[in-house]
A and B are shown apart, each in its own frame.
Chain A
């Protein structure tokens, strides 16, 4: 070997790397232009809304903008003793402005959430300002503290200081039935009000079991699809896909017709004598309904990836397993099953992720015990209009899905997924 370390040149004397780059640049630009529309679409419809959701979920600027002077003067207050005169003065100035703009109600509401009792005392201060009873040349501290004993309680001032940062994690904590207590620590809400944690657990539980049911039912179907002769497998494929092409609402509604107490399934049970007429089981407005309907609706998402993987497994592998002396079960378990793992992974991941965020079906057939976290999100979006809380829970759901994906990647490896 020679000691030449010169760059390789093309016949025209241009360095090879440069020449290659130049030749490929055009293709790269073309490729980029082709994906550009999709990229824009994704940014507009995905990245931007999620960013918006995130800022909304932690946004606490409203109060920051309401009490700018108060927070500024509170910066030097350590929160131990009662605040100094200038804090009271600035608080008065801010509050008076709010009164003029008729926004004091919002402030009272917000602070009351932070600590109960603000509503009353702020109303008192509001009335004093309306009647011009506050002497602006005198000591604000004295006048305000004399209005109500709570104004003289340092706890209330600490609560105000806590709201100073423009961002808050309160919504996320609320999503986990936690809150920031008076001392600024994280505490659990009272036991009878812990609804979210139950919902999260139920969501995970239902998503998990729906995935298991889909797998148990989808695996044989996919196997049949992959091994039947063409003319039967096409028919079966249509049977699998037909519900897929039917509106989700129609499908859920048909489950309601089937499962209700006077429904077809119950009628059938009574007819064959499985249950007595006056003792029809409830199969809807509870978990059973959610399980049944969601499994049926999500089944194609399990069958299709499994099918696409099974289709590539040569039937001669099973035959080889058998001819080498493996019983049909051994041949299946040692040869066929391991080869379908990429499809199982893809199907389970797909079904689980879809199930974890499922909304319409549980809303319609779930009743009280069969609703999921997404129904709670929708409730806050539409009924309480607490969008920031809905956003926070939505993001928690998204994080959960990403965690599932991460765990899956660690266990199976995303490279092994085969979606089709």
Chain B
């Protein structure tokens, strides 16, 4: 695979619909060829707008988008050669599955026998061979979704955009489709730009994730980095589960700081964005990083009272009141059945200060 690092490039892109509010602010994003990149963010964060600008349905108010080195702002959508999978599939309801898939090939004036071959190949890729003559209305949601994916890929586009394609499917189907799309991406090596608000989906499928909020990319990194080392409290809160403590930095060194909590008590944390004493901060800690009755000497160890126990099958969630935070969540694997988890009990909770990330106070 030729690895063009900035195959798709957003350069200083701004977008405003009404001239008053910027939906996308100074977006700079490079997407490598063959990469699976996800734009993740809450609704209204500008991620779909970015996708629409790339597809050509919206024009950037400022800045330029490059595809393989060429600016594309003045190229109409039908000449960009970008495949797109829409949120509601957007299959043509009056055409059969075959005609839907043949549409992009017919408008490109490809000979009939070649169209047949390509349609066959695309349909078997999404394991729908034999469904050529069905109408979209006769297919289930998952099958329609696969036809939509096949249609976006059948004309061998350089880039495929997917706008929350799995939003309408139920949970099981959504998960199996995630793997299917991931495998298709791996086998044909097309560049995929995927938009979703579902973090699980983003973590499962992507090479890199761009977390959007408020028209800006908050963090752009691989799924594990995003989860393990969020760079600000929005990302920490948005991705995965999170225990937070609000407080003020009272002492800071290179890789450790002391935070005086608003609810009373002091903890040690890993200074990510805080630089000096007196700064307000929010300390973020993943539930699975806090341990009960820590054996080794962890630099944070506190007593908490169990407020709620919820059985989740493979694990048990325990809500504690710890250092004035009564929303402190613990995840306990079911193998540790010997622990005395009962409502009202006081237990010892410990964690490493390196896992507690002191971020911006928001």
Contacts and interface: CB of A to CB of B under 8 A. Distances in A.
B107 A316 contact: no
B92 A326 contact: no
Contacts of A338: 94
B92 A323 contact: no
Interface in A312-339: 314, 316-317, 319-328, 330-331, 334-335, 338-339
A327 B104 CA distance: 11
A322 B103 CA distance: 11
Contacts of A320: 84, 86, 90-92
Contacts of B55: 319, 323
B250 to A, nearest CB: 53
B337 to A, nearest CB: 46
A317 B107 CA distance: 16
User: Chain B interface: which size bin?
Assistant: 20 to 34
Interface string B53-72: 00111000000000000000
A338 B99 CA distance: 14
B152 to A, nearest CB: 8
Contact of B94 (A322, A324, A330, A339): A339
User: Chain A interface: which size bin?
Assistant: 10 to 19
Nearest to B80: A323
Given A320-B92, A335-B92, A339-B94, A325 B108 contact: yes
Contacts of B103: 321, 324, 326, 334
A248 B93 CA distance: 40
Interface string B80-98: 1111101110111110000
Nearest to A324: B104
B58 to A, nearest CB: 11
A323 B94 contact: no
B88 A323 contact: no
B86 A326 contact: no
B81 A325 contact: yes
Contacts of B88: 314, 316
B84 A319 contact: yes
Contacts of B87: 316
A323 B93 contact: no
A319 B86 contact: yes
A316 B108 contact: no
Contact of A322 (B78, B91, B92, B155): B78
A316 B86 contact: yes
A317 B57 CA distance: 13
Given A316-B90, A338-B94, A339-B94, A323 B107 contact: no
A334 B161 CA distance: 23
> Which of A324, A325, A328, A338 has the most chain B CB atoms inside 10 A of its CB?
A324
Contacts of A331: 78
A328 B94 contact: no
Given A320-B84, A331-B78, A325 B90 contact: no
A328 B107 CA distance: 12
A325 B78 contact: yes
A314 B90 CA distance: 8
Contacts of A334: 92, 103
Contacts of B80: 323
Interface string A253-271: 0000000000000000000
A326 B92 CA distance: 13
B160 to A, nearest CB: 10
A358 to B, nearest CB: 34
B107 A324 contact: yes
A321 to B, nearest CB: 7
Contacts of B86: 316, 319-320
10 contacts: A316-B88, A317-B90, A320-B84, A320-B91, A323-B83, A324-B83, A324-B103, A325-B79, A325-B155, A339-B94
